[in-house]
Amino acid sequence: MKIIDAHQHYWHYNQSEYDWIDDSMKVLQQDFLPSHYKEEMKDNNIYGSVVVQARQSDQETKWLLDLADHNEHILGIVGWIDLKSKNLEHQLKEYKASTKLKGFRHVIHDELDIDFMLDLQFINGLRLLNEYNYTYDLLIKSEHLENTIRLIEQLPKMKLVIDHIAKPNIKKKEWDTWAIYLKKIAKDYPHVYCKISGIVTEADWYNWKEEELIEYIKYVIDIFGPSRVMFGTDWPVCQVASKINKIIELCEKPIYKNNHNIQYKLFNENASLFYSL
């Protein structure tokens, strides 16, 4: 089975633009480019990928689109755009010529204001994305899930996906509040998807246990159903805790291991349909 990696990144590393990469992540303090990822693809049967922004700038989006023009394995781009900008619609019109640009993302969980996503300008920006048929990745933590419900209530039934299963603190065994709110979203909003990605980095990087991560993976597949989850490596960030092959194995091991139809949906079809790859 050919895998579509629904979530990975590229960057030319520098300390000022990637200040979130601290000394505990020294393995990430270097360039990660298509030439590096192609080795991972070959070793792990990955057919193509969706590359997601790592900087919040228009320059980032344009750089990723340039990479996509020169690398066939890049099937789609999730860029960044200022949803509060007065020039938003003009930018979206210009971007329509870039067929590999599928959607956008903002690092919501780093905003100091917990209500950042409920700002009316931000919401209107999301509504405009829908009019131009773009997807939106919600990069949040579990404490943002209650506000995420309030946000979804004010939006049309557009293509939304929650990145990294909303980043529960697996290292501290966070479960109850995360599980309740995520289940409500899965049940009440059938147009919302979830990425099974970024899980190893929410666990203890050096001592994570397979069984504890599988519990989270299985729960997400159970509540969203096999047609609304997609697999992402979160490479190269995942490398602080795991190699790609181990992450793939984790997602194969729940009770769905021998169900090839569900595996195909998780590892290929759902990402292709969501992002129109």
Gyration radius from the chain CA atoms: 18
CATH match of 3-275 with 3.40.50.620: no
N-to-C CA span, the chain: 17
**What is the reported pLDDT for 253?**
79
What percent of the chain lies above the pLDDT cut of 90? Answer: 94
**What is the reported pLDDT for 233?**
98
* Least confident span in 51-65, 218-232, 254-268: 254-268
Question: Per the structure block, which two tokens stand in for 267?
Answer: 């590892």
**What is the reported pLDDT for 270?**
98
What percent of the chain lies above the pLDDT cut of 70? Answer: 98
In this structure, is the dihedral angle defined by the CA atoms of residues 221, 110, 134 and 10, taken in order, positive or negative? negative
Distance CA 199, CA 271 (A): 18
pLDDT greater than 60 at residue 277: yes
Mean pLDDT throughout 106-110? Answer: 96
- Over residues 19-35, the pLDDT tens digits come to 999 999 999 999 999 99
**DSSP states along the chain:** -PEEEEEE--B---TTTTTTS-GGGGGGSS-B-HHHHHHHHHHHTEEEEEEE-SS-SHHHHHHHHHHHHH-TTEEEEEE---TT-TTHHHHHHHHTT-TTEEEEEE-GGG-S-TTGGG-HHHHHHHHHHHHTT-EEEE---GGGHHHHHHHHHTS-S--EEEGGGG---GGGT--HHHHHHHHHHHHH-TTEEEEE-S-GGGS-TTT--HHHHHHHHHHHHHHH-TTSEEE---BTGGGGT--HHHHHHHHHSSTTTT-HHHHHIIIIIHHHHHHT-
**What is the reported pLDDT for 257?**
57
**What is the reported pLDDT for 258?**
65
- Token pair 């689109």 is found at 65
Mean pLDDT throughout 104-122? Answer: 97
Distance CA 17, CA 63 (A): 14
Mean pLDDT throughout 199-219? Answer: 96
Q: What is the pTM of this model?
A: 0.96
**What is the reported pLDDT for 159?**
98
pLDDT greater than 70 at residue 148: yes
**What is the reported pLDDT for 261?**
87
Distance CA 198, CA 195 (A): 9
Question: Per the structure block, which two tokens stand in for 216?
Answer: 């989270």
Instruction: Domain ranges for the chain, please list them.
Output: 3-275
pLDDT greater than 60 at residue 137: yes
Mean pLDDT throughout 96-106? Answer: 97
Question: In whole numbers, what is the pLDDT of the chain averaged over residues?
Answer: 96
